[in-house]
Each structure stands twice: as structure tokens, then as C-alpha cells.
Structure 1
Amino acid sequence: MSASGRVRIIGGTLRNSRLDVPDLPGLRPTADRVRETLFNWLQPVVGGARCLDLFAGTGALGLEALSRGARAVTFVERDARLAAALKANLARLKVEGEVVGDDASRWLRGPGRPFDVVLLDPPFALDAWETTARQLEDGGWIAAHGWIYVEAPRGAALSLPHNWFPHRQGHAGEVAYALYRRTPADPLS
């Protein structure tokens, strides 16, 4: 699925648009069916939302959010080829998005700005879920009642912040995915 031109937008104003994607080892775009399920879950909140697509890769998740009415999407991708492809796809599709060419962990050390929806799908080999989740929570990157999508290997036991409450979850093949709702942390805990 990582070959050029094989990723497409599932719904919204960009529906059926194809994304030009470099063929790179380890690139694992979120499956069409999973994206469709996720954005059905997010449908009531994605319109007008500020979204963060960490470990953006192809940018399919963030572009799907833009297609479905997100106000703004920030894509963070450390691979220069993927970041360049993302910028080219945004220009070709005539949509606005901020592409940050940086390592997600390093970028999250900067000043936080709260996002309504965070899309957390790191390369599985990085095992970055828990560290990144803590950076997001501690750094002020998630709105008080924001939503967090997490994609991980099926069967992975993740230790996520205690104030991220599971809303919906599913699996497709060897991939597990879940949508969490953040509530403000209890200052006494």
C-alpha cells in the first residue's frame, strides 16, 4: 500500500483524491476501512477542529480531517521526502496545512498549543506511544476535552495517561485502533 498514488481520501470534499506517496520501507498508511471508521466516530467534532497529525507519514489522516471540515491541521513528519510529498499533495489539492519537518518528540518539547483532535500513529518499530502520550499531556498539546486517536500493533499493552478515556476501539488485521476522550487531569492525583 506504500507505492506512489495508492492512498486515497475516503470522504468529504476531497473524496477519491489520490495522494502521491514515496515508496519507502516501513511506511504503513492507515487502511481505508480504518480511516472511514475513525472519521465516522469523529464526524460530530471534526468540523472546525484544530488537528495535529503526529508521525504524519503519508498525511492521509490529517488530509482526511481537512476533507471533512477541520479548520486547521498541523502535520509533523521527520522524513524529508515524506514532508516534501505532503507539501506537494496539499498544494495539488489546493488545501492549507502546516507541515513541520521535525522529529515528533523534539517538536513536542516546544511551547504547547492545544489541539482538538490528535492523531497518534507512530511507526510501530519506534515504540513511541507512551513517551509521546506523556509529552502531549504534559506539554499542553491537547484541548481540555480533546480527542486522541491511537493506532498500534494488535495486542500491544499501552500505558496511556489516566485521563484519556476510551471512547471507541477496533482492529483490522494486526492493527488495533482506538479513539480516546481527554478530560482535564485531576490536580490532586
Structure 2
Amino acid sequence: MKNEIRVIGGRFRSRKLRFPDAPGLRPTPDRVRETLFNWLRNDIEGARCLDLYAGSGALGFEAASRGASKVVQVEQDAAVCRALERNRALLNAEAVEIVQVEVRRFLAGEGQPFDLVFLDPPFRQGLVVPCCGALEENGWLSSSAKIYLEAEREFRLDGLPLNWRPLRGGKAGEVGYHLCERTFFR
């Protein structure tokens, strides 16, 4: 891997962004990102987005490129955060905010509602379901938020909040990806 991603569409289209080696960091593959943003084409403009386990920043920068009004990227690793900051400056991506903190600690705080959440934690560490619960319980989701989950291929949607409706999903190599929608208040 070259430790480089390319923004697929929008204002930053074709711009290349670099990121460091870090344990568990694997950018969302281009094909999966393209599929996801095709699914979300009517939901991005003006959306408030939360990018958890931001890593390379592929999902958050793609959302900012396509017109999200705000993108908060949450990442624990200091070197990865420095790369996110460099990429934000390179793109002059004013809508992007980078927060260096462990994701579960961030989600334990007082929430502010987001329209779209990207949740792409390191694989096989059991992080998806607890994070989904914290998103729902701590006020991080707007009433009809969409939540993108990326996990190991064998991940099943069991244990997600009952008011989340799966919309679409797929598999690519070792990756399973799913788009859910919050359907009512709890």
C-alpha cells in the first residue's frame, strides 16, 4: 500500500492525501467509497457528519468534498491526527474539524446530533455494537440520521439499536459494509 488515497468526487476530486502506517488503519477501498457516496448522493449536501475512527480520513474528506456543512473526524492516534491536519490544510477543508481522543470516550460525552455517521473501527475488536449503542443513547444522531458501518466481512447486524433500519449493504474482499437509517425516536 502506498499510504495514499484519492478523493473520488466533489470539490476535492482527484486530490491525493497521504497517511501514516498505524495499527488497524485501512482506508475504505475506492470501490466501496464510490458505492457508499452514490447511495448518499441526496444526503450529503449541507449534512453534519461524524467520522469515527477517522484513520486516513477517506470518508470524512469525501463528505466535505461533496458539500457536507460540517465533518468531525475523531481519531486517537497522534501521528494519524497530524496527517489529518496536514490534509485538511492541503485541501483548505474548512468544514473539517479533527478531534484527537479515543472514540468510546468521545461518545460517552454529551452528544450533538449528526445527520450522517461513518463508523469504521479496527476489525475484530467488538467495537461496532457498543459504539452504535452510544450513538443512539447519548444524543449523537438527528431524528433520521444515516449510519454507515464498515467491519469485517463476517460482521452481522445483530445487536444494533432496534430503531435502526438496514438500507443497503455489500461485501468487498475482507470488508462488509452497511448503511442503516434511524427511523424513530427512542
Q: Same fold (TM over 0.5)?
A: yes
SS in 2 for 1:12: coil
Consecutive unaligned residues of structure 2, counting only runs of 5 or more, are none
Match of 2:109 in 1: 110
Counterparts of 1:92 and 1:108 in 2: how far apart (Å)?
28
- With normalisation by structure 2, the TM-score equals 0.95
Task: Determine whether 1:82 maps to 2:69.
Answer: no
Task: Determine whether 1:31 maps to 2:29.
Answer: yes
What are the within-5 Å matches in structure 2 for residues 52-71 of structure 1? Answer: 52-71=50-69
Change (3 A) 1:81 1:125: farther
Q: Which amino acid aligns with 1:150?
A: L
More helix by share: 1
The count of corresponding residues between Structure 1 and Structure 2 is 184
Match of 1:160 in 2: 160
Match of 1:129 in 2: 128
Consecutive unaligned residues of structure 1, counting only runs of 5 or more, are none
How far apart are 1:23 and its partner, in Å? 2.1
How far apart are 1:155 and its partner, in Å? 1.6
- With normalisation by structure 1, the TM-score equals 0.94
Identity %: 52
Q: Which has the larger displacement, 14-23 or 69-78?
A: 14-23
Kept in 1, the 8 Å contact 2:124–2:152? The answer is no
1:70-91 residue CA offsets vs partner (Å, 9 max, x unmatched): 0000000000001110011000
Match of 1:47 in 2: 45
Counterparts of 1:24 and 1:109 in 2: how far apart (Å)?
24
Match of 1:151 in 2: 150
Counterparts of 1:125 and 1:8 in 2: how far apart (Å)?
26
How far apart are 1:157 and its partner, in Å? 2.4
How far apart are 1:184 and its partner, in Å? 1.9
How far apart are 1:183 and its partner, in Å? 1.4
Counterparts of 1:22 and 1:145 in 2: how far apart (Å)?
35
Aligned-pair Cα RMSD in Å: 1.1
Match of 1:120 in 2: 119
Counterparts of 2:39 and 2:70 in 1: how far apart (Å)?
19
How far apart are 1:170 and its partner, in Å? 0.8
Moved over 4 A (4+): none
Task: Determine whether 1:183 maps to 2:169.
Answer: no
Q: Which amino acid aligns with 1:51?
A: C
SS in 2 for 1:22: coil
SS in 2 for 1:124: coil
How far apart are 1:20 and its partner, in Å? 1.3
Match of 1:92 in 2: 90
